[in-house]
Amino acid sequence: MSDKHHPKKRFGQNFLIDETVIHRIISCIQPTNQDALIEIGPGFGALTHKLLIAQPALSIIEIDNDLVKFWHGQTKTHTQLHIHHQDVLTVDFKSLATIAAKPLRIVGNLPYNISSPLLFHLFSFDDVIHDMCFMLQKEVVDRLCATPNSKTYGRLSIMAQYYCDIYKLFEVPNTAFKPAPAVTSAICRLIPKKAHARYPIDPVKLAECVRLAFTMRRKTLPNALKGLVTVEQIISLGLDPKLRPENLSLLDFCHLAELT
């Protein structure tokens, strides 16, 4: 990390400084020169420099003008590096996959302030993504992997598990970063499920049903889903109307969404 750069809070700039953690992340990614590899938020390159050793034709997506300038300065050495100076939330990953002519491998120590919208943005490109390996706030990774009947289980868990198989790999203490964030972090791998491994439901319908249900997660199902499904329909699925949204599995939600 450069001493001249003042980390920008609005861009979630907590730079990785712990070499052991950096090596562990790279071994989890296992980058190769065959990969259509994309890094979100390279910063000053804690991961990037190691990714470039394996795949010189790496693509990076960075929003910060100063950091983009830094990376343009690196292109004399890294001649195949593709720099996308863009807000990742506006990136069309489908066209990147078309250019690469293969599914994408997307990695990064993500800006935590946009993690949920970013994950939902990425899920909308699930069919052109091979896998993703991300550093996120530990609480977000726990929510991604959460199972029913737990406090962390909710909209993000259900939608993420609809789209992907998710693996929590390891936790990272805040001392691994400069500046140190207030929270613990964790690395996770997300692998988009193939169409045949998914319940055949329109994801827009599923998302709407789950959104409504978790707007009032402490209410019983008929109250939480008022206007969307009736108590009779809930019973017809073999679900107890006294249950709350947090008691339902992904499959239960797919069945409910099918009725809408």
Specify the residue for token string 């950096």. 22
CB contact burial 69-80 (16+ within 10 A = b; e otherwise): ebbeebeeebee
Which one of 21, 31, 41, 107 is in contact with ligand SAM (CB under 6 A)? 41
**What is the length of the chain?**
260
User: 189 - beta bridge partners?
Assistant: 133, 167
Report the DSSP pairing between strands 129-137 and 177-178: unpaired
Segment interacting with ligand SAM, rule: CB under 6 A, options 26-34, 37-45, 72-80, 185-193: 37-45
CB atoms inside a 10 Å sphere around CB 157: 23
Which one of 26, 38, 51, 61 is in contact with ligand SAM (CB under 6 A)? 61
* Long-range contact pairs involving 208-215 (C-beta distance under 8 Å, separation at least 24): 208/257, 208/260, 209/253, 209/256, 209/257, 209/260, 210/155, 210/158, 210/159, 210/245, 210/253, 210/257, 211/155, 213/245, 213/248, 213/253, 214/154, 214/155, 214/245
Distance between CA atoms of 95 and 113, rounded to whole angstroms? 26
Q: Does 16 interact with ligand SAM (rule: CB under 6 A)?
A: yes
Which one of 31, 111, 192, 245 is in contact with ligand SAM (CB under 6 A)? 111
Picking from 190, 174, 170, 179, the residue whose alpha carbon sits closest to that of residue 24 is 170
User: By C-beta, is 180 or 251 nearer to ligand SAM?
Assistant: 180
User: By C-beta, is 45 or 245 nearer to ligand SAM?
Assistant: 45
Going residue by residue from 78 to 107, which x/- string records binding to ligand SAM, judged by CB under 6 A?
---------xxx------------------
Segment interacting with ligand SAM, rule: CB under 6 A, options 11-19, 149-157, 164-172, 225-233: 11-19
Q: Does 38 interact with ligand SAM (rule: CB under 6 A)?
A: no
Q: Does 63 interact with ligand SAM (rule: CB under 6 A)?
A: yes
Residue 221 in contact with residue 245, Cβ under 8 Å? yes
How many residues lie near ligand SAM (CB under 6 A)?
22
Which one of 14, 55, 137, 161 is in contact with ligand SAM (CB under 6 A)? 14
User: 171 - beta bridge partners?
Assistant: 186
Which one of 59, 109, 115, 185 is in contact with ligand SAM (CB under 6 A)? 109
Residue sitting closest to ligand SAM (CB): 41
Distance between CA atoms of 36 and 57, rounded to whole angstroms? 8
The nearest distance, CB 7 to ligand SAM, in angstroms, is 8
Picking from 44, 93, 38, 41, the residue whose alpha carbon sits closest to that of residue 70 is 44
Going residue by residue from 188 to 227, which x/- string records binding to ligand SAM, judged by CB under 6 A?
----------------------------------------
Which one of 62, 126, 246, 252 is in contact with ligand SAM (CB under 6 A)? 62
Binding site for ligand SAM (CB under 6 A): 11-16, 41-43, 46-47, 61-64, 67, 87-89, 109, 111, 114
